[in-house]
Amino acid sequence: MYIVTGGAGFIGSCIVKTLNDMGIEDIIIVDNINNTDKWLNIRNKKYIEYVHKSEFFTKLKNYEKLDVIIHMGAQSSTTERDFDYLWKNNVEYTKALWNYCAQHGVRFIYASSASTYGSGEDGFDDRSDIDKLMPLNGYGYSKQIFDIWVKHQAKEFPKQYVGLKFFNVYGPNEYCKGNMASMVFHGFRQIESEGEIRLFRSQREGIPDGCQMRDFVYVKDICSVIMWLLAHEEVNGLFNVGTGQAQSFKELAEATFYALGKEANIRYIDMPSHLVDKYQYYTQAEMEKLRSVGYTKPFMDVKKGVTDYVQNYLDKGFRIY
């Protein structure tokens, strides 16, 4: 049996779809759908039960033959200001799941974040000392705290334990993220309504407008990594998951226009003041650690990933993956 927390969310629902494509349907989805439209993300999925996150620990002890918990559930907004809420959801909840898995011989795969790297002045190497990282926001810090807890304070370890530092993920099912959805999603909607994509002007000398760089990783590649980990129980540790290649927001926007067969029309706007001091101008995952344990599949670049996303999902009415 598989449990996917955050299973109605962006990455979680794509993981459920990928499991289904492999013929796996004995899945428990844990989430907090409430009055959102995230139920659309599980409408076309095969699973045993949906459990609200507040009832999960009460029911957890009743599940037999549980193999793995894939923990994607968290407060994922990088602009969340309630740190107590972040601590409860991203640190304490994850600790409780880790301890359960350790005590019951269950494998545990969880979402960390590339936001733990902060400004990236010391690079984006998952082999570096995580204690020295300086995240730029409470979300990134909450993810770092759990990674550090695993390193220094975890007394017992699950049968398999893997933390995944996702870089900038984009793809189908992300509409539920609202303002936190990718520039591809928002850019597509801007093209539909206004015929243009708006990008932030650069606030840093030497970096032209639109040339802020990110490691943009397609959600289907995320799912491929997780399926590979499920097949390789011997792999443990904390790993980056990106493409290993930084590309600019301008390239991302141009790829969106290209996928629609349109000429690029980009307009630059001022960055909101609350983001100026917390904005990452460059991220690029160092991928040698994941490669060294045997993952060899290539990652899609922006042009290939955006084309699949736009043509097969966004341009077909936000069809769910």
- Beta bridge partners, 248, equal 213
* Residue found by looking up tokens 């067969």 in the block: 261
Same domain, 52 and 183: no
180 or 21, higher pLDDT:
21
Catalytic residue among 139, 161, 170, 218: 139
Residue 278 maps to a domain: yes
Q: How many domains does the chain have?
A: 2
Does 281 score more than 90 pLDDT?
A: no
Reply yes or no on whether 177 is catalytic.
Answer: yes
pLDDT, mean of residues 175-195: 94
Say which CATH number the domain at 258 has.
3.90.25.10
Range(s) of the domain holding residue 10: 2-169+216-245+284-300
319 has pLDDT over 90: no
Of 310, 300, 311, 41, nearest to 188 by C-alpha is: 310
Q: Is the pLDDT of residue 249 over 80?
A: yes
Check whether residue 15 and residue 113 sit in a common domain: yes
What local confidence, expressed as pLDDT, does residue 150 receive?
96
Q: What is the arithmetic mean of pLDDT over 165-188?
A: 94
Where does the pLDDT of residue 81 fall: very low under 50, low under 70, confident under 90, or very high at 90 and above?
A: confident
Instruction: Assess whether 120 and 202 both reside in one domain.
Output: no
- How does the average pLDDT of the chain come out, rounded? 94
Backbone angles phi, psi at 55, to 5 degrees: -105, 0
Q: What is the pLDDT of residue 204?
A: 86
pLDDT at 275: 80
> Do 138 and 206 sit in the same domain of this protein?
no
Residue 83 is part of a domain; what is its CATH number? 3.40.50.720
Q: Is the model's pLDDT at 276 over the cut of 80?
A: no
What pLDDT, on a 0 to 100 scale, did the predictor assign at position 277?
77
255 found inside a domain:
yes
Contact 12, 4 (CB under 8 A): yes
- Which residues make Cβ contacts (< 8 Å) with residue 32, sequence separation at least 6? 52, 53, 54, 73
CA dist., res. 150 & res. 237, Å (int): 10
Segment among 73-77, 118-122, 208-212, 244-248 with least mean pLDDT: 73-77
Within a domain: residue 40?
yes
Instruction: Note the pLDDT of residue 100.
Output: 96
Residues 120 and 259 in one domain: no
Per the model's pLDDT, the better-predicted residue between 233 and 204 turns out to be: 233
In a domain, 251, yes or no: yes
Q: Which of the residues 177, 278, 289, 303 is marked catalytic?
A: 177
pLDDT value at residue 64: 87
Q: What is the mean pLDDT of residues 234-243?
A: 98
| Closest-CA residue to 144 (of 91, 204, 212) | 91
Give yes or no: 303 in active site: no
DSSP state of 121: T
Question: Does residue 242 carry a pLDDT above 80?
Answer: yes
Specify the pTM. Answer: 0.95
Q: What was the pLDDT predicted at 168? A: 96
274: pLDDT strictly greater than 90: no
Let me know if residue 97 belongs to a domain.
yes
